């Protein structure tokens, strides 16, 4: 194979696959896409609910242990996708676009060309939305987006009615911008019930182009330089070290791996580089810092009248649903998500929701009740309902830095949950908001007692004590290589890494601030726009 390219893209996740498609559309350009993982073609990847069976397994996920801090429990680990499609191949498939003010804030910070008007145009071009509602949705694009099918129509209606009773408009399109909203959850699952990954959406056909080379099992050790010009990458491939060169090298390895790779390559905080004996190419204290992450917390209740879906995922019924999926791509195995999504405001303006809630008519067993071999994701034997909330704009920011010069080793991950005191108030309000929705008459008639955290957890102090243990990551990180001017960021508005040439970052790590919702869709829209920006230079 050739060893020189016009573009090298490191990481075939949600952003990298879109970039590879868009940049290789110019047949005069040679593009190399490198991915450390495998091809992700297994049934448990294609079947949306199959994710529960493969969750945390190293074939499909990179594990990132987080440092224990304060009153937080030990053992917190973040898992991001590995293989073609990245996290889009093994996530929950939840699809949100984000809010206009998320993106307009980027341009207001000096990042010209990064605003809602441009990003919404990208969404219209890449989407194939199969639902009703907001007019500015894409139709006929490569990324199919569908509504989650109803498993229990009675409970779905009760949840929507409860949201309405709580003052939240119920709309056909939960991605309607600039409003609080409740509606059917949207997912990256096609009309045949198959998961739509960034790879299957953007590269299933483009991957056949003669000018696009895709290599899996390729672990990038570092970016190579001639002085301060990036010349390519050093890669472990087929048991050998190989150097590939390119006019432009683009990092799309994700919010934790991209800053790690920059630091391995000599770009980052001077003290971190010195600690690991890495020669400084360009000192930048912002590499790995400013990590935005959503705080996630799940509450659950018992259900009366044997309503809900818990019994459908246990015993012979689970096998029947699996068979139904294999025969026609239908049924409960064709989704992993809550049937209803809610965007609400607890501290922000109503036109910029800051709380995302997913409500599912089933509940999961606590981990200690599962046998180790059963894995994660076993439903409870009793009927239950779960409301999972994401605080979308916490003030606490974590960081990531090298823990080892081994490129396969995870970096040091420090989430810094609740380091900003305001987040304690936010999580308390979030839990109270969820409870308020669930207590509305339309839904309360079906509810038994609250199971988690429980009705005795009522005061601010009790809620915070529970939250210290309950809060986990939404896996929606941004900001660790943030876009911004010299002295404030890692890349400029052209996505060029400050202090060097020929090197770019084009994934969620470059987003200056967080997104109001899951980041899979925004990562694709960001990369769609990034391809235009980079190709135009």
Q: Which pairs with CB-CB distance under 8 Å and at least 24 residues apart come from 323-328?
A: 325/47, 325/49, 325/193, 328/193
Q: Classify 241 in phi/psi space as left (phi over 0), alpha (psi -120 to 50) or beta.
A: beta
CATH number of 149-184+295-391+419-470: 3.30.410.40
Torsion angles phi and psi, residue 174, rounded to 5: -70, -10
CA separation for the pair 232, 238 (Å, rounded): 18
- pLDDT at residue number 371: 34
pLDDT of residue 468: 94
> How much is the pLDDT for 481?
99
Dmax (CA) for the chain in angstroms is 70
Residues 6+ away with beta carbon under 8 Å from 319: none
Whether residue 256 is preceded by a cis peptide bond, meaning omega within 30 degrees of 0, is no
Residue 248 CB neighbours (<10 A): 22
pLDDT score, position 461: 97
* Residue carrying structure tokens 């495998």: 38
Please state, in angstroms and rounded to a whole number, the distance separating the CA atoms of residues 47 and 216. 22
* pLDDT number for residue 373: 32
pLDDT at 366: 63
Residue keyed to tokens 């009705």: 455
pLDDT given for residue 374 in this prediction? 33
Alpha-carbon distance of 114 to 529, in angstroms, equals: 8
Residue 531 near residue 515 (C-beta atoms within 8 A): no
pLDDT per residue as tens, the chain (537 positions): 789 999 999 999 999 999 999 999 999 999 999 999 999 999 999 999 999 999 999 999 999 999 998 888 888 999 999 999 999 999 999 999 999 999 999 999 999 999 999 999 999 999 999 999 999 999 999 999 999 998 899 999 999 999 999 999 999 999 999 999 999 999 999 999 999 999 999 999 888 999 999 999 999 999 999 999 999 999 999 999 999 999 999 999 999 999 999 999 999 999 999 999 999 999 999 999 999 999 999 999 999 988 899 888 888 888 898 999 999 999 999 999 999 999 999 987 999 999 999 999 999 876 543 333 333 567 888 999 999 999 999 999 999 999 999 999 999 999 999 999 999 999 999 999 999 999 999 999 999 999 999 999 999 999 999 999 999 999 999 999 999 999 999 999 999 999 999 999 999 999 999 999 999 999 999 999 999 999 999
Please give, one letter per residue, the 3-state secondary structure of 155-190: HHHHHHHHHHHCCCCECCCCCCCCCCEEEECEECEC
Catalytic residue among 290, 397, 476, 498: 476
User: What is the per-residue pLDDT for 91?
Assistant: 97
> Whole-prediction pTM value?
0.96
Residues of the chain with CATH 3.50.50.60: 1-145+194-292+396-417+475-537
311 catalytic? Reply is: no
Long-range contacts of residues 134-137, Cβ cutoff 8 Å, at least 24 apart: 134/173, 134/175, 134/176, 134/177, 137/173, 137/175
Q: Which CATH class is domain 1-145+194-292+396-417+475-537?
A: alpha beta
φ and ψ at 316, to 5 degrees? -65, -30
pLDDT at res. 367: 53
For the chain, give every residue range classified as CATH 3.30.410.40: 149-184+295-391+419-470
Give the β-pairing of 240-251 and 229-237.
Answer: antiparallel
């Amino acid at each position: 194979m050739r060893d020189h390219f016009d573009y090298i893209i490191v990481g075939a996740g949600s952003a990298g696959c879109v970039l590879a498609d868009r940049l290789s559309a110019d047949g005069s350009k040679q593009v190399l896409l490198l991915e450390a993982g495998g091809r992700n073609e297994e049934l448990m990847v294609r079947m949306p609910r199959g994710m529960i069976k493969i969750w945390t397994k190293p074939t499909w996920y990179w594990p990132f242990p987080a440092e224990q801090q304060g009153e937080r429990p030990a053992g917190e680990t973040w898992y991001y996708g590995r293989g073609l499609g990245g996290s889009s191949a093994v996530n929950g498939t939840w699809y949100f676009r984000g809010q206009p003010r998320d993106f307009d804030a980027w341009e207001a910070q000096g990042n010209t060309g990064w605003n809602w008007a441009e990003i919404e145009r990208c969404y219209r071009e890449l989407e194939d939305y199969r639902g009703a509602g907001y007019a500015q949705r894409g139709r006929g694009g490569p990324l199919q987006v569908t509504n989650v099918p109803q498993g229990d129509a009675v409970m779905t209606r009760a949840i929507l009615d409860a949201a309405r009773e709580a003052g939240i408009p119920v709309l056909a399109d939960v991605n309607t911008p600039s409003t609080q909203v409740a509606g059917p959850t949207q997912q990256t699952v096609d009309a045949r019930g198959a998961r739509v990954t960034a790879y299957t959406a953007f590269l299933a056909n483009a991957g056949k182009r003669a000018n696009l080379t895709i290599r899996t099992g390729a672990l990038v050790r570092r970016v190579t330089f001639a002085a301060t010009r990036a010349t390519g990458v050093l890669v472990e491939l087929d048991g050998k070290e190989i150097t590939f060169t390119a006019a432009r090298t683009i990092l799309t390895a994700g919010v934790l791996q991209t800053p790690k790779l920059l630091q391995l390559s000599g770009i980052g905080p001077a003290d971190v580089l010195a600690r690991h004996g890495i020669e400084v190419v360009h000192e930048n204290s912002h590499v790995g810092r400013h990590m935005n992450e959503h705080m996630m917390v799940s509450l659950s209740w018992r259900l009366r009248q044997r309503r809900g879906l818990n019994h459908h995922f246990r015993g012979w019924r689970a096998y029947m649903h699996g068979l139904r999926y294999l025969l026609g791509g239908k049924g409960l195995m064709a989704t992993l998500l809550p049937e209803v999504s809610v965007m609400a405001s607890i501290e922000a303006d109503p036109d910029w929701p800051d709380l995302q809630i997913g409500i599912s008519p089933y509940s999961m067993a606590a981990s200690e009740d599962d046998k180790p071999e059963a894995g994660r994701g076993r439903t409870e034997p009793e009927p239950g309902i779960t409301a999972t909330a994401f605080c979308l704009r916490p003030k606490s920011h974590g960081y990531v830095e090298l823990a080892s010069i081994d490129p396969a080793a995870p970096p040091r991950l420090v989430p810094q949950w609740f380091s900003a005191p305001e987040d304690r108030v936010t999580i308390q309000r979030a839990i109270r908001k969820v409870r308020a929705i669930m207590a509305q008459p339309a839904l309360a008639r079906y509810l038994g007692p609250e199971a988690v955290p429980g009705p005795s957890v009522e005061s601010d102090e009790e809620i915070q004590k529970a939250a210290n243990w309950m809060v986990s990551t939404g896996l929606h990180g941004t900001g660790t290589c943030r876009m911004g001017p010299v002295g404030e960021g890692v890349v400029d508005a052209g996505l060029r890494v400050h202090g060097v040439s020929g090197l770019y970052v084009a994934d969620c790590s470059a987003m200056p601030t967080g997104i109001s919702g899951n980041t899979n869709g925004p990562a694709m829209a960001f990369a769609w726009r990034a391809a235009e920006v980079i190709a135009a230079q």
